[in-house]
Chains A and B, each alone.
Chain A
Amino acid sequence: MFAQLNSPLQVEAMTQALLEQAIAQSCRALIGKQQQIKLALTCLLANGHLLIEDLPGMGKTTLSHSIAKVLGMQYARIQFTSDLLPADMLGISIFDNQQQQFHFHPGPIFSQLVLADEINRASPKTQSALLEAMEERQVSMDGQTRALPSPFFVIGTQNPLHQAGTYPLPESQLDRFLMRIQLGYPDKEAEKAMLQQPVNGDKLILETVMSCEQFIKAQQEAMQVHASEAVLNYIVRLVTFSRESQQFANPLSPRASKALLSAARGWAFINKRDYVLPEDIQAILPAVAEHRLRSASTDIAAQGSLSKILLEAVDPLVN
């Protein structure tokens, strides 16, 4: 009995140790951003896509690149521009004169981790092609359905909306991203440490910590994390509050509540716990919920802190 109970625990502990290493490795590339790296990993553990929203030069690409490297994933980067067409991303069938038939040349989307850089610069047509692929995890072209590799993650980055020449993603598509995180400026010490790094060649060598298979296993284990009834009630109360309070024009959808739970599981797993605490939900809620909510008031200042309003309105302990 005990042996049975123990053995998965040991395996879990091993996976968790691997994840810890992965975080430590990524932190070498992106100094002082442990929180965001953990959130990003949580997002991937919960099998969701990640949206990074920040100004240029804040380390968006570095983050996604280092995660791909550390997790040993096949990585492709698509730079979104306003003239990017769906075919540029998905791939194209070209007629082979010698063999007298069409050959499909897969586009960059056929990778395990796709960095869709500056996603809001592309036209809505291309955006929706990407989002469709994200949702279905397959691509349909010329009457043929081609499965995307597994695991398949998209890390989208975008500039804040008030930059010129962007097509803001509609709410329905923002909803497809499990999380939206912001990197923010590093603090002084982190910035100094970054500057002190030796410039050998031009690249920081990161070790690959775990294989793809190991990561898929980690995903499965993370989703086994126990969420008690109290935690589920807390999620329900949060979601209900967003719907009943008059403060939100766009409240949280059922998809959002599912996202909250799976992200909370991932976060608990990363923090080496086999059950979810209210603190896990509070930690991931800004990343999961902020981009799905929209304030009822037109006050621009109110738009950034909606998840905070939500968190402060609901007591995690009361049933």
Chain B
Amino acid sequence: MQWSVKFWQRETTKSENLPRPIQAKNPAHLFLAAILIVFTVTLYEQVIAWISLLVVCAVVIRSAIFFAYQKHLPSMRTLNLLAILSTLGLLYSAWSLGFLLGMINLLVLACALKLMQMRSQRDFYQLIVSTLFLLGCGFIFNQSISMTIVYSVLTLMIIVALGFFHAPSLSLGQQTRQLGLLSLQALPIGLLLFLLLPQLPPLWQTPRAKTAESGLAEKITPGDIARLSQSSALAFRATFADGSPNHASRYWRTIVMEDFDGRSWQVHPVRKQQRLLFQSMQQEFNPVLSGPYRDYDIIAEATQQSWLPALDLATPLGAKSQSEIWQSNDFQLISLQPLVSKYQYSVRSFIAAMPYQVLSQFDRELNLSVPKTGNPRTQTWIQDLRTLYPQDTVFTQALLDYFAGQGFSYTLRPSAMFIDPVDTFLFDTRAGFCSHFASALAYSLRLAGIPARLVTGYQGGELSTKVNQADYISVYQYDAHAWVEAWFAETGWRRFDPTALVAPDRINFGLRQAMQEEGSFLADSPFSLARLTNIAVFNQLRLWLADVDYNWSRWVLGFDRQKQQDLFKAIVGKLTPQRLALLGLGIVSIIALLLLLFFLPHWLAGRVSGPQRFYLDALHALSKVGFSRPPWQGPQDFNDTVAQQFSAEIKQPFAQLTALYLHSYYAKTSSAEKETSQTERVTRQMKQHLRKLKRGLRQVKP
């Protein structure tokens, strides 16, 4: 019986406040599910296994609903419970992964749960935004050209998903056409922004991911490099603008090891402390530099370490490299940040400067220390040899002759040496890899009182020459090498490579050539393209891929301020600050103009005419004191509520304003000639009343 009364008094029902529900059967959901699963696959190393499983579950649930195998989403209670459990699980399993990986896992987890929960339009938008962000995060780990293509496709798919969400009835063809049109419009703007907007250095540091370090290690036990030589992964590429060094002289110094314990060599702990101290004081070692030099750029792959390979004797070149690279006392280049992604730096190498370097007393002591015990046969042998040849150079030559003449062989499959490894190597097996030779030589020199140390790095590399392109050398992990440096009073530091005596092919042509007989080159990965060089097609394909990858890293990933300036120079000629400023201004104004052309009609349409503007100003002034018009209320009704709420100083001018506004905006306008003068009068009056109203309102404010 209450029914009739209800009509006038009914309250708003709850249903209209709820977010807009969405249809369960929308291709957009399927798209999002596909994007999420593909993304998780691209980050299989980073995403924790059980989170990947959760992603798969979410995708299965969404697909089941889409294909109508299942009608109901998991209930909110289930999902909340799942979310709480997953958070605890994530805290437990991602604690050790570090901040970056933890956050990425959290995002993936959140997306998977959202995909299960997605009910309203808001949920959908949230998922879209999170997925876009996630795709951006993917670039932290994968920057290769193929991955970039994958991520671009995923990004486009997100846009298609958005399209489907808003127009589920359109066909895929129509959606793609729409997408193509949008992308075409966006492409020039994106290109312009990429090429011409200032390339700022990152404002924050990417949190360091605790992933496995790759490449050379800070400690080697002879035999370790043999493991590395099984990898055909790229280590770095060096670009030489004018002429590259020949194969035999490409010794890429990376890590210097001065601490020997009888078995393994490692970076001396004292050096590490020294480095920390010097870096904190922002001091750098300055070697004596003179003689001919060679300039080149290196793009190093991510290693999670700080060591940077370079030819002897290297100094960083250019302001960017100089500020980011620290030079150590043992002539290494060390990046201040570990290489979490590809890193490009410029180097100037003084080819003949090594002999001029001085040896401090401290360095001498470091490079002479040997363990007192172990390798007894070597110790007595060196003692005997030393008495025979008291002169340093003659002694060294005798040592090298021993390597050359005593039937030593070079192999990637050395037998294990556990007790007194140097003894075993020198007198029993006589077969080993570069690190065996280098280790034995450096140890022997030290025993004889000659300062010596082990240097690990890369030797050789694949040269690529093309007509329209600077020469570049690709160095792979299998080019890893170890050699010896010894110091003589008369000649300074000299490089000795015993491997060269045993296997000259290794130094002159590379590992592939040296291992041809043994057949052990990349024996563990039979399908590696690098192994199939005998087949011309595959070799061409491999070289072509290397070329594409090189250009991608050099011109797209390595597009920094320097490259940008070069580009500007090429465009505007000589680069002066004014020209640069003009160019920047021009670009920004072109973009602004395009935006203006697009938005101007909308702005003009939204602009309000005279009397209405004053009235809206008055409304705005009232809303500032916390009294705003409900969006559905008409002006007269609002005037009535104002009259009830406020004192005369406010309600009178507002009533006048309302009356004038209503009269000018809603009433019949009289004939045209009167109109202009009347409008002016109304405007003047409204201005006055507005001023009065604002004065009144000022007193209201505390």
A interface list, Cβ under 8 A from B: 53-55, 58, 160, 182-185, 226, 228, 230-231, 246-247, 274-279, 282, 286, 290, 297, 299, 301-302, 304-305, 308-309, 311-317, 319
Contact = CB atoms under 8 A, between A and B. Distances in A.
B3 A160 contact: yes
Nearest to B9: A184
Given A228-B665, A279-B636, A316-B634, A302 B15 contact: yes
Contacts of A309: 12, 16
Contacts of B662: 277
A185 B4 contact: yes
B667 interface: yes
A129 to B, nearest CB: 28
Contact of A299 (B10, B13, B665): B13
Contact of B13 (A231, A301, A317): A301
Given A183-B4, A282-B634, A316-B634, A274 B666 contact: no
B362 interface: no
**Interface size of B as a range:** 20 to 34
B15 A299 contact: yes
A275 B632 CA distance: 20
Nearest to B612: A317
A182 B4 CA distance: 7
Contacts of B13: 299, 301-302, 305
A55 B635 contact: no
28 contacts: A53-B4, A55-B4, A160-B4, A182-B7, A183-B4, A184-B5, A185-B4, A185-B5, A228-B667, A230-B665, A246-B20, A275-B666, A275-B668, A276-B666, A277-B634, A277-B636, A279-B636, A279-B637, A286-B8, A299-B13, A302-B13, A308-B10, A308-B12, A312-B630, A312-B632, A315-B632, A316-B632, A316-B634
A134 B31 CA distance: 56
A305 B4 contact: no
A58 B4 contact: yes
A312 B13 CA distance: 12
B7 A184 contact: yes
Grouping DSSP codes into helix (H, G, I), strand (E, B) and loop, the A interface class, with mixed when no group exceeds half, is loop
A304 B666 contact: no
A21 to B, nearest CB: 25
Given A277-B662, A282-B634, A304 B15 contact: no
A297 B16 CA distance: 11
Contacts of A282: 632, 634, 637
Contact of A279 (B3, B634, B665, B668): B634
A228 B1 CA distance: 41
Contacts of B466: none
Contacts of B20: 246
Nearest to B605: A319
B8 A314 contact: no
B631 interface: yes
A282 B5 CA distance: 19
A303 to B, nearest CB: 10
Contact of A231 (B5, B10, B666): B666
B16 A247 contact: yes
Given A231-B666, A282-B632, 17 more contacts: A53-B4, A55-B3, A160-B4, A184-B5, A230-B666, A246-B20, A247-B16, A274-B668, A277-B666, A278-B634, A279-B637, A299-B13, A301-B13, A312-B12, A312-B630, A315-B631, A317-B616
Nearest to B1: A55
Interface in B638-682: 662, 665-668
A283 B1 CA distance: 25
B12 A290 contact: no
Contacts of B666: 226, 228, 230-231, 275-277
A317 B8 contact: no
Contacts of A55: 1, 3-4
Specify which of B5, B630, B636 lies most central, judged by the most chain A CB atoms within 10 Å of its CB: B636
B372 interface: no
B77 interface: no
A301 B665 CA distance: 38
A185 to B, nearest CB: 6
B72 interface: no
B602 interface: no
B261 to A, nearest CB: 77
Contact of A226 (B11, B631, B636, B667): B667
Question: Which of B5, B8, B612, B630 has the largest count of A CB atoms less than 10 A from its CB?
Answer: B8
B632 A313 contact: yes
A58 B7 CA distance: 15
A187 B16 CA distance: 30
A226 B631 CA distance: 24
Nearest to B616: A317
B598 to A, nearest CB: 21
Contacts of B630: 312
B635 A277 contact: yes
A311 B12 CA distance: 11
Given A184-B4, A317-B635, A274 B15 contact: no
A239 to B, nearest CB: 15
B701 interface: no
Contact of A274 (B4, B634, B637, B667): B667
Contacts of B616: 317
Contact of B6 (A226, A276, A304): A304
Given A55-B4, A185-B4, A311-B632, A305 B637 contact: no
Contacts of A317: 612, 616, 635
Interface centre among A185, A228, A231, by most B CB within 10 Å? A228
Interface in B598-636: 608, 612, 616, 630-636
A311 B13 CA distance: 14
A319 B608 CA distance: 9
Contact of B7 (A246, A276, A278, A304): A304
Nearest to A160: B3
Given A160-B4, A184-B5, A279-B634, A297 B668 contact: no
A312 B17 CA distance: 12
Contacts of B608: 319
Contacts of B5: 184-185
Which 8 A-B pairs give the minimum distances between C-beta atoms? A226-B668, A278-B634, A279-B634, A275-B667, A305-B10, A312-B632, A315-B631, A228-B666
Nearest to A297: B15
Nearest to A246: B20
A309 to B, nearest CB: 6
Interface in B558-599: none
B671 to A, nearest CB: 9
Select the residue from A185, A290, A311, A316 with max chain B CB neighbours within 10 A.
A316
A43 to B, nearest CB: 17
A314 B632 contact: yes
Of the candidates B616, B634, B637, B665, the one having the most CB atoms from chain A within 10 angstroms of its own CB is B634
Contact of A290 (B3, B7, B637, B668): B7
A286 B7 contact: yes
Nearest to B662: A277
A297 B13 CA distance: 12
Interface in B1-57: 1, 3-8, 10-13, 15-16, 20
Nearest to A35: B8
A231 B665 CA distance: 9
A305 B15 CA distance: 12
A183 B662 CA distance: 31
Contacts of A246: 20
B701 to A, nearest CB: 25
A58 B637 CA distance: 30
A55 B1 CA distance: 8
A304 B10 contact: yes
A161 to B, nearest CB: 10
